[in-house]
Amino acid sequence: MGARARQQGGSAIQATSTGGHPSLHTVKPLGRTLFNRVFAAIYALSILALLFYHAKTLFYSPALVSFSVTLALLISDLVLAFFWVSTQTFRMFPVCRKQFPENLKKIMERSDFPALDVFICTADPYKEPPISVVNTALSVMAYDYPTEKISVYVSDDGGSALTLFAFMEAAKFATHWLPFCKKNNILERSPEAYFESNHTCTSEAVNIKIMYESMKVKVERVLERGEVDDENITSGQEREAFNKWADSFTRQDHPAVIQVLLDASKDRDIAGYSMPNLIYVSREKNKASPHHFKAGALNALLRVSGCMTNAPIILTLDCDSCSNDPETPLRAMCYLSDPETRPQLAYVQFPQIFRGINKSDIYNAEFKRLYRINVMGFDGLSGPNYLGTGCFFQRRAFYGSPSILASPEIPELAPDYIVDKPIQSQPVLALAHQVASCNYENRSYWGSKIGFRYGSLSEDYHTGFRMQCEGWKSIFCDPERPAFLGDVPITLNDALNQQKRWSIGLLEVGLSKYSPATFGVKEIGLLMGLAYAQSAFWAIWSIPITTYAFLPQLALLNKVYIFPKVSEPWFFLYAFIFLGAYGQDFVDFILAGGSIQRWWSDQRFWIIRGISSYVFGSVEFFLKFLGISSFGFNVTSKVVDNEQSKRYGQGIFEFGVHSPMFVTLTMAAIINLISFSQGLVEVFRGNNWEGLFVQMFISGFAVVNSWPIYEAIAWRKDRGKMPIKTSIIATLLAESGTTKASTGGGPPPLHTVKPMGITIFNRMFATVYALAILALFYHHTKRLLCSPTIVSFSLNLALSLSDFVLTFMWINTQTYRMCPVYRKQFPENVEKVMKRSDFPALDVFICTADPYKEPPIGVVNTALSVMAYDYPTEKISVYVSDDGGSALTLFSFMEAAKFSTHWLPFCKKNKILERSPEAYFESNHPCTSETGKIEVMYKSMKAKVEHALEKGEVDDQQHEIFNKWTDNFTRQDHPAVIQVLLDASKDKDIAGNLMPNLIYVSRGKCKALPHHFKAGALNALLRVSSNMTNAPIILTLDCDFCSNDPRTLLRAMCYLCDPAIRSTLAYVQFPQIYRGINKNDIYCGEFKRLFVINTMGMDGVEGPNYVGTGCFFHRRSFFGSPSSLISPEIPELSPDHVVDKPIQSQSVLALAHQVADCNYENQTDWGSKIGFRYGSLVEDYYTGFRLQCEGWKSILCNPERPAFFGHVPINFADALNQQKRWSIGLLEVAFSKHSPATFGVRSKGILMGLGYAQLAFWAIWSIPITTYAFLPQLALLNQVSIFPKVSESWFFLYAFLFLGAYGQDCLDFVLAGGSVQRWWNDQRFWHIRGVTCYLFGSIEFFLKFLGISASGFTVTSKAVDAEQSKRYEQGIFEFGVHSPMFVTLTMAAIINLISFSQGLGEVFRGNDLEGLFMQMFISGFAVVNCWPIYEAIALRNDNGKMPIKTTIMATLLAGALYMAASFIFKRQDATGHFMASLIHNSRAESKSTSNHHLRACALN
């Protein structure tokens, strides 16, 4: 089979030689090349000028010290100049390539594809976990490439039976994994990567995952035990393999082990297709023989594979570099199969790209310059260097130059050898063992002229360089989708040690006879030689970096100036050189797809390397060079520690262990901090800062870069902080003579507040806009006084009144724009200022009223989400108020109580964020077996609850509590029901931890007594909870508001536990944020102005209003002002009462039932001075307002991750009815004795008073909106102009007022995170509310006010209809049912459409409509906003269209309104003509009398 593969490979390469085939690849130069060359010329001149300056300073040095300092700076700048020159080679000819793998199949058959040998190297199963190596192998075995042509060789240089066992298990799993990948066209063919991704959860995927997890557990268990037990050996063949690990077998001394695990000629997957070859190789080792580290292992694989398969193409991979694109070999073949590039092409190099890098890439693991920028520059010359992994070689490239074959010692190893025997045949295996022996390479060319080259720890760099010196070329292939993804070191020590090893290896080449600076320049030219030299001499970066890290600072400490003054011309040379180098590096980085944060980390880590790994690498190399010491190859650990991984993810540097490299790093940080501080002192003293500026800048720049070190020394308490030993040694070595800087007294901050940047603009604009409003009222007054008829007077009066209301609302809105603030919390600091055992207890109030409008499973999810807070569970008590008195709701919570004993420990164990089960299982959650079990339990509970709801009764009536639901028990008339479902003193979860309290409460009701809607329910909970737990903190939640962040309570505690503000803080309000809002938010469910913009404005004054949910209260705030406690009628209800009895004790339950009775509040202060306040349907607004009037303050907490998520009405009628209820409730406050406009201004000042008044008078928006929705249009239909002409100056005033108001509103909206589309829908829905819910809410309120009718509390439905939900998601308005509010809306739409159409008709007739332009604009603007209504009337056929009844009624009423208006305007015309005639006659008579008088005078 190997012979066939070789022959097929040859014929495949020939197939590309004929012309006319589609292109396989393209190459083009990068556009910035010209700029690079021009800038290089300018920068080179500046370097020459700098060196001239140094030479001049050196020549005139007056003393040995100044001479030494200048010489050190000169040497440093010469090294920097050398690196700058060598770096320019990458900027002269950078290119970008593109491949077309789809064309490969057009020019060659799959059967003609060349065979591929894959080399994967591992060395230590404890530093390179076998399961990771297995994933790498599986990912390439599953390539979209003929499997029988793939052979994977795994080199185990640690000689570990554990690794062999892992691959035996992998071979079995591969028979399922490969067909699964290809059948489902999976891209991530590493199982670990695939199952961690958002993969499709099909039954097949679940089965495969179970198989993978089973294999993984087996492998990890064996690794943990450190040996392969008999129970894990399943066949005699396996036992025979493991018998080789005798007592004398060690990782440094053992015979060769070669085991064929899969044979492509025999083994099949479960679908019947051939499997790839999979061969385990552990070469022979002997302590007496050199093994040449990784290069030796790769050469052993090269020889073993030459005997067994001898594929013409070889792919080398690190053990953790998994394939990320199954088409990668096809991309490589686009070059390797091209007859134009193939003869001299040694390899195709893919970039090293890594998974798991944190956001800022703190350790510069991305190496964008090394792996992207530089190689693109290399690629424009003779090709990139070999990077050690992700590289496809032509086997021929390892055997001499393109023109001269270096024949190996035996013909079976020649690159053109045809393998004609099975890989498991005795001769093949015997020869494979022979060539894998430790003595085989003695007196051969292996490592010098053949194979991977010896002589450097950086065998990849050395091998690629030597190949190019022999005449080979290479190509860089960088597709959009990364071909491979590797792992990065997540500790600083590992990262620095890895780069120290690279530095040593590169110096071994740089200072050898094959040095790129000499041999390289001679063999491959100046540019390629210098390009390789740039990497080879990496370690000498340590000279300038160390010099600039210490010398200027020490000079500054001794007040010695070593740089030009700011006023000298040479200063600008230094400035240009610094900014030019950093600027060009920044541009390169950003253009290569980097971010500013990552660029900053890149330059910082370059400095860190310069005084750590580069310094120690250089020292270690020269010690070896002098024969004083030797060094070995230290494998970089790929094992991940969870705690370290968490810190790495947060962007925190990991020190943790003592290291000499950390000592130099800390020394530099300390010296720079002290020198910068002393420099600042000198500046403040008025000393010569001009001479100090450059040194202070360097010190300050170093201080900024050293921030993670200061943090690790002084602030951090975790295990990754700087070891004390390191800090002490560094401090002593620095010889600073000063003590460590103080970290500052007092506890860490819990929160911060800062004003919004737009405040100044808001205040300036408000001044200008106020002047414009005054001008408008002057215009209205003038027109009123000059009105010739009663009709025109009435029109002007209506417009004046509308504009007065708009002005009133505009003034109120400005209160939110005067002092808006932004707050930030630090919940991680709460535990630093108080122990968890000292956290205050929390009572949670959840209200529900109707199980059919508010499905119990939704309420259950809300309760479970807060029960699972990251907070001591025994301190949480959840009270559920069921104001519908439904047994179905109680049954739901009984089931929830059982489920919660599993859910809470599951959430905390797995650190889940979405702790509402419904939200979690709808998210892309990990599909583990534990998750599957919990999901089954949840769905079972949900099914039970929904089944009971569907039946309308609880099947299991055996529980004693359900006996209370007798025939006399109705939702309007029933006794109090209080049931303790979970008791924190007794009940525990499955992990043995205490559960929260969970109490069901249905207060007593009687038809004869008022129950005060939701406020009454909350007060009942306030009393019941006072008696049972009396927690000092209370959280109120709507029944559909689930927690979205388990740390929300800690965020609230940042304010509630701050002694500086606690005494007057009533509540911490979180914004209402909703899930399920459609893309454009057609019903303005987001309410961004109400819940975010306005509340941020109020927060800058004395705090936001209470919005009914997501609010943490101090219980004390419900009992009088901060300075005066109002004692309740019994001491057990006092906020300072200490509950000393169990919540299920008879006395506690008896009192709880007593205070929940419907008669309890008679003749008490509840609802007036104590608790939630009565007198309005909007108890939230009213209660918050009254609390603030008593002297309490509040705070808005708006974290990045929403604290709570609620549901919005998805039905248009529901949305309008909800807001009609709000309008009525707000008017009840506005026209009460506690009106914000009077009582509020007097109690809280004008800003807070007007801020609350803006909401209280919401409903009067209906006056201007309704006026402008009908009046200008009716006037337009009758050709009556009521606004200024376009040519008049007053027109521009109207234009400014309109654009200014809308523009500022749009700006507010967008700055608050909204989109333009959502802003448009927000303003449209404001118009809709004005002619519907605001209008009908006002009418209903005044009818109630006059005693004609009464209003009730209608619960907003949270039940979802699938068809309505679908239309809502599509952004289609839902009408469907007839509603009086739809009639006025449709009337306005019809009248605006007709008036706009008639106006257009007049324009087309050529009439002058200059005076009617504004009316046409208003009509047109309304028509655009009314498009969903026209669509619902005429274009839709679904169930959500406008009812015909509504359309007919609206049309008739619109016609009637038009006729009435026409009659009035015609009367106005008649009256107008009559008045005009009288005026004309009067003027004529006056004129005649005057003429007679003149004539009489003349005669006289």
Q: Tell whether 955 is in a known binding site.
A: no
Amino acid at 1177: L
The partner residues of 751 in beta bridges, in order of sequence, read 825
**φ and ψ at residue 952, rounded to 5 degrees:** 85, 10
| Per-residue buried b or exposed e for 471-505, using 16+ beta carbons within 10 Å of the residue's own CB | bbbbbbbbbeebbbbbbbbbbbbbbbbbbbbbbbb
Q: Tell whether 918 is in a known binding site.
A: no
Locate the DSSP E strands across 53-132. 95-99, 116-122
Q: Tell whether 157 is in a known binding site.
A: yes
Amino acid at 1260: I
Question: Catalytic site residue 460?
Answer: yes
β 842-848/876-882 pair status: parallel
- Return the number of other C-beta atoms located less than 10 Å from residue 607's C-beta: 20
Of residues 181, 196, 183, the one with CA closest to residue 138: 181
**Residue 1493 half-sphere exposure toward CB, CA atoms < 13 A:** 6
Give the three-class secondary structure for 99: strand
Give the three-class secondary structure for 420: coil
Beta-carbon contacts of 1111 under 8 Å, excluding residues fewer than 6 positions away, are: 1035, 1036, 1067, 1068, 1069, 1070
β 322-323/150-156 pair status: unpaired
Beta-carbon contacts of 951 under 8 Å, excluding residues fewer than 6 positions away, are: none
Of residues 1027, 1030, 971, the one with CA closest to residue 1002: 971
DSSP string, 1351-1398: ---PPPP----HHHHHHHHTT-----S--HHHHHHHHHHHHHHHHHHH
d(CA 231, CA 766): 82
β 313-318/116-122 pair status: parallel
Cα–chain-centroid distance for residue 1487?
Answer: 83
Tokens coding 527: 């540019």
Distances from the Cα of 1292 to the Cα of 771, 1287, 1288, angstroms: 14, 9, 8
Tokens coding 934: 């919990």
Q: Which of 112, 157, 1040, 1308 is catalytic?
A: 157
d(CA 557, CA 550): 11
- Return the number of other C-beta atoms located less than 10 Å from residue 986's C-beta: 12
d(CA 1360, CA 242): 63
Q: Tell whether 144 is in a known binding site.
A: no
d(CA 1147, CA 247): 75
| Per-residue buried b or exposed e for 213-230, using 16+ beta carbons within 10 Å of the residue's own CB | eebbeebeebbeeeebee
Q: Decide: 717 and 657 in contact? Cβ < 8 Å.
A: no
Q: Decide: 168 and 257 in contact? Cβ < 8 Å.
A: no
Give the three-class secondary structure for 1285: coil
d(CA 784, CA 800): 9
d(CA 436, CA 155): 11
Q: Decide: 125 and 319 in contact? Cβ < 8 Å.
A: no
Q: Tell whether 588 is in a known binding site.
A: no
d(CA 1328, CA 1215): 11
d(CA 612, CA 605): 10
d(CA 229, CA 249): 17
Question: Catalytic site residue 325?
Answer: no
Q: Which of 460, 850, 883, 1038 is catalytic?
A: 460
Taking each helix axis from N to C end, the angle separating 929-951 and 856-867, rounded to the nearest 10 degrees, works out to: 140
Helix and strand numbers (H, E) in the chain are: 52, 24
| Residues with catalytic roles | 157, 460
- Residues making up the binding site for UDP-alpha-D-glucose: 127-128, 157
- Residues making up the binding site: 127-128, 157, 294, 318
- Residues making up the binding site for Mn(2+): 294, 318
